[in-house]
Chains A and B, each alone.
Chain A
Amino acid sequence: MKKTISRNIAIVSAIFMLTFSVMLITNYFQVSCTNTAHPELIENLKQANEELGNNPQLQEQIRELDLMARRAYFVSLYRLKTGAAILLFMAMVFVVSLRLYFANSKNIPNKEVDPIDDWMIKSKARKWMVLAAGGVVVGGFVFALLSSPYIKSFEEGKETSLEDVLVETIDIEEVVVDKVIIDEIAIDKAPEESPVAVAVEVPKTTHSGFRGNNSLGISAAKNMPTSWNLSTGTNILWKVNIPRKGHNSPVIHGNKLFFSGADDDARELFCYELSSGKELWRTAAKNISGSPSKMPDVIDDTGLAAPTVATNGKQVCAIFSTGDVICADMEGKQLWAKNIGVPDIHYGYASSLLIYNNLLIIQYDTQNKPRVIALDVATGNQRWEKERPEKSPSWSSPILAPVNNKPQLILIGNPGISSYNPDTGAPYWRVACLSGEPAPGAAYVNGIVFGAAEYATMVAINALDGSILWKNSDILPEIASPVACNDFVFIATTYGVVATFEAQTGKLIKTMEFSTEFDSSPIVADGKIYLICTDGKVFIFSAKGDFTLLNSFETGEKTFATPAFTDKKIVVKSEKVIYCVGEKD
């Protein structure tokens, strides 16, 4: 009687457990498939809501769905927990009833599995053991051999057949012949070339990106001419037409000059010889996966090649409005090219590149997903990426501020001026104070970061903690970036006013007004401030004392780009031509 009851209980609990665990497993999969309380759908809807603008219907839908999802998540969690407890309880009932059922039954098997012969069992076990161990050994060996690198190189070695060997020997002979010829040529040429090599003095001062090294607007170059004339050719070493349109600025490394250009036909990076103005090489961005077939719509003020290229002396990188980034070595060999996503910026992409050690920093403040990206210059692999909480795209370019010998990457956006660790992208500080679509990059001197944008404000920030030192909204630059040096900060506006402020206090030192527009950024070099207005008139101010205008003269070429400086030479890129200023020997 008792036995029957326990048997029945056991059967019932077993059936219950089976069905219940099936249910539980289904529930488990439901939970683990959605995984989080937030299904993809809601996330997508939320993103759509952010892009669309005010849409009360959508918002209502999101709210409802969100509530439902959360409720479902917690309910299924609760179900799983209670389900597990119930299952466990039933398992206990099952075990107990089973035990009771079998309580008094002696287990006496009527048939012996093994013969009662110890030695036979042992012999059999030995046989199995040897077989199993042998199998494992053989299997292990085969696996180890197949996966070992030796066999791979062996296989590769085997493929080189006799023909290959023959070809190889022929190749070697050819190479030897070539080498001999080259040697002969070298011997022939050597006496001629060596005086030329002496004559071409490779400038040591680099101008490695937009607004010079670290994009700070300060050049270490010395002894540049303070006047030149394009029509008479005074102090003009060479002048050539630019091969392809682009508002980007020139960049100098050694005797090489880099800039980019793009139109509907091609997007190219150019390298010219600084001493002669001859084209050394060019490389185009083409056949890049993800690159759009149709050029994005941009306004003429931006163009397709507004960002300035950047170099570190080993590689040179360029970016175009299509989101194509290309990198070449100094000899023009393209190392890598990739598309980092077509930027959705209604006026076109304009932020210049910056190279820090082996990282290529790209300020990618697009409409959808403002972010800053660091790529490995040598390989193009992404090192880090940080999303930026900006409201709109910006034209601004990153700078690298050497704060206490620890570089900070400073980016300007709407509304934030942000500082990052350039190695990792970890944010240091952020000051939200700007508005509109800022174009000027930041300036830095003596622990102070300056940021400014037209219709917003100009602000000086302590680079150590991100606290605001002073603000001024009287005179604001729209396109040209400010430059800070020693104890002043200098700005040039689109309505023709240039102004100098005290760096520490923000006190206005001097203003001057000219009836022109400044788009090109000022550069401090050799104790002077060089500035070119859009009509091409050059202004040279003293960078100390009362900031007097030392010289000003017309060039006659419309100029938007910022010139590049190296010892004794200035390279100016105007709308149509690029020319090198320097004293002729």
Chain B
Amino acid sequence: MKSHKRVNHNPIARRDFLKSCARALAGGSLLALFGLTIRKTKAKDASCFWQIDPTKCTFCGRCETNCVKLSSAVKSVHAVKVCGYCDLCGGYYRTNAKELNTAAENLLCPTGAIQRKFVEEPFFEYSISEDLCNGCGKCAKGCNAFGNGSLFLQIKQELCKNCNECQISKVCPAHAISRVPVSNVYHLIDTL
């Protein structure tokens, strides 16, 4: 009788009781959530960096314009060990280039980011100055169509803001951008 009275006529006590129940519920659900999720987490090799898979990339050019950064964190990368060091480079020259010189009308790169250096007859070394590269992928497209595919696009980790959801990954027509673990943070083409 006494307890009945207390529950019914003391709203403060009732509220406290409800509050404790709610606390238990909240704490319990939080613990359950934590428990369920933590099974799937990886502390060390979690995939938390965005990277482009060059085998999937179609060089559509959206990396240049869709990165949240003003100048894209995607840059062209050159695998020297794969490069054929050709004189007529599909990544350096336009398809119908008239002369193989460094004149603007023959070059593919819109920002002039690719440098060409004579090594020995008939080989030329190509390198990319990252400050100028805007990640448009024109050179990678050319190199993949006509060359060994040694030029390709990669997200430079020192430039990437590592957004929770990479904006480019959602507009990438080839679904080539995914999260990778730190141990494998660049998809490099080392061998043929």
Decide if A and B are genuine partners. yes
Instruction: List the interface of chain A (C-beta within 8 A of B).
Output: 35-38, 45-46, 49-50, 54, 58-59, 62-63, 66-67, 70, 73-74, 77, 80-81, 386-387, 389, 427, 430
Task: Please determine whether A73 and B95 come into contact, CB atoms closer than 8 angstroms.
Answer: no
User: How far apart sit A49 and B70, CA to CA, in the bound complex (Å)?
Assistant: 32
Nearest B residue to A39 via CB reads: B110
The contact of B104 among A35, A66, A81, by CB within 8 Å, is A66
B64 within 8 A of A: yes
B136 within 8 A of A: yes
Interface string of B94-117 (1 = CB under 8 A from A): 111010000111000011100000
B65 within 8 A of A: yes
Nearest A residue to B64 via CB reads: A36
Nearest A residue to B107 via CB reads: A66
Task: Please determine whether B146 and A389 come into contact, CB atoms closer than 8 angstroms.
Answer: yes
Q: Which residues of A contact B103 (CB under 8 A)?
A: 59, 63
User: How far apart sit A43 and B31, CA to CA, in the bound complex (Å)?
Assistant: 60
Among A38, A49, A389, the one with the most B-chain Cβ atoms within 10 Å of its Cβ is A389
Q: Which residues of B contact A54 (CB under 8 A)?
A: 98
User: How far apart sit A95 and B145, CA to CA, in the bound complex (Å)?
Assistant: 54
Q: Which residues of A contact B105 (CB under 8 A)?
A: 45-46, 49, 58-59, 62-63, 66
Task: Please determine whether B96 and A36 come into contact, CB atoms closer than 8 angstroms.
Answer: no
Instruction: State how many angstroms separate the Cβ of B47 from the closest Cβ of chain A.
Output: 28
Count B-side interface residues using an 8 Å CB cutoff: 20
Nearest B residue to A36 via CB reads: B110
Task: Please determine whether B136 and A36 come into contact, CB atoms closer than 8 angstroms.
Answer: yes
B71 within 8 A of A: yes
Given contacts A36-B110, A38-B110, contact A77 B145 (CB under 8 A): no
**Chain A to chain B contacts (Cβ below 8 Å), 24 pairs:** A36-B64, A36-B65, A36-B134, A37-B110, A37-B111, A46-B94, A49-B98, A49-B105, A50-B94, A59-B103, A59-B105, A66-B104, A66-B112, A70-B110, A70-B111, A74-B111, A77-B70, A77-B71, A387-B95, A387-B145, A389-B95, A389-B145, A389-B146, A430-B146
User: How far apart sit A441 and B47, CA to CA, in the bound complex (Å)?
Assistant: 50
B91 within 8 A of A: no
User: How far apart sit A54 and B70, CA to CA, in the bound complex (Å)?
Assistant: 38
Task: Please determine whether B111 and A73 come into contact, CB atoms closer than 8 angstroms.
Answer: yes
Instruction: State how many angstroms separate the Cβ of B162 from the closest Cβ of chain A.
Output: 20
* A/B pair count, beta carbons within 8 Å: 52
Q: Which residues of B contact A387 (CB under 8 A)?
A: 95, 145
Nearest B residue to A45 via CB reads: B105
The 3 closest A-B pairs by CB, nearest first: A38-B110, A66-B104, A50-B96
Nearest A residue to B71 via CB reads: A77
Q: Which residues of A contact B96 (CB under 8 A)?
A: 50, 389
Task: Please determine whether B70 and A81 come into contact, CB atoms closer than 8 angstroms.
Answer: yes
Instruction: State how many angstroms separate the Cβ of B106 from the closest Cβ of chain A.
Output: 9
Nearest A residue to B97 via CB reads: A50
Q: Which residues of B contact A38 (CB under 8 A)?
A: 110
Q: Which residues of A contact B90 (CB under 8 A)?
A: 389
Among B90, B104, B110, B134, the one with the most A-chain Cβ atoms within 10 Å of its Cβ is B104
User: How far apart sit A18 and B64, CA to CA, in the bound complex (Å)?
Assistant: 29
User: How far apart sit A63 and B106, CA to CA, in the bound complex (Å)?
Assistant: 10
Instruction: State how many angstroms separate the Cβ of B177 from the closest Cβ of chain A.
Output: 20
Task: Please determine whether B104 and A63 come into contact, CB atoms closer than 8 angstroms.
Answer: yes
Q: Which residues of B contact A45 (CB under 8 A)?
A: 105
Q: A36-B134, A63-B103, A427-B146 are in contact. List 11 more A-B contacts (CB 8 A).
A: A49-B98, A50-B94, A59-B103, A62-B104, A63-B104, A66-B105, A67-B104, A70-B111, A386-B145, A387-B145, A430-B146
Instruction: State how many angstroms separate the Cβ of B40 from the closest Cβ of chain A.
Output: 35
User: How far apart sit A81 and B131, CA to CA, in the bound complex (Å)?
Assistant: 14
Nearest B residue to A38 via CB reads: B110
Q: Which residues of A contact B146 (CB under 8 A)?
A: 389, 427, 430
Q: Which residues of A contact B65 (CB under 8 A)?
A: 35-36
Interface string of B132-145 (1 = CB under 8 A from A): 10101000000001
Q: Which residues of A contact B98 (CB under 8 A)?
A: 49-50, 54
Q: Which residues of B contact A49 (CB under 8 A)?
A: 98, 105
User: How far apart sit A36 and B98, CA to CA, in the bound complex (Å)?
Assistant: 24
User: How far apart sit A132 and B164, CA to CA, in the bound complex (Å)?
Assistant: 33
Q: Which residues of B contact A58 (CB under 8 A)?
A: 105
Nearest B residue to A43 via CB reads: B110
The contact of A427 among B64, B132, B145, by CB within 8 Å, is B145
Q: Which residues of B contact A35 (CB under 8 A)?
A: 65
Q: Which residues of B contact A80 (CB under 8 A)?
A: 70
User: How far apart sit A37 and B108, CA to CA, in the bound complex (Å)?
Assistant: 12
User: How far apart sit A66 and B132, CA to CA, in the bound complex (Å)?
Assistant: 14
User: How far apart sit A73 and B64, CA to CA, in the bound complex (Å)?
Assistant: 13
Instruction: State how many angstroms separate the Cβ of B185 from the closest Cβ of chain A.
Output: 26
User: How far apart sit A265 and B146, CA to CA, in the bound complex (Å)?
Assistant: 42
Instruction: State how many angstroms separate the Cβ of B121 from the closest Cβ of chain A.
Output: 18
User: How far apart sit A70 and B133, CA to CA, in the bound complex (Å)?
Assistant: 11
Instruction: State how many angstroms separate the Cβ of A163 from the closest Cβ of chain B.
Output: 50
Q: Which residues of A contact B95 (CB under 8 A)?
A: 387, 389
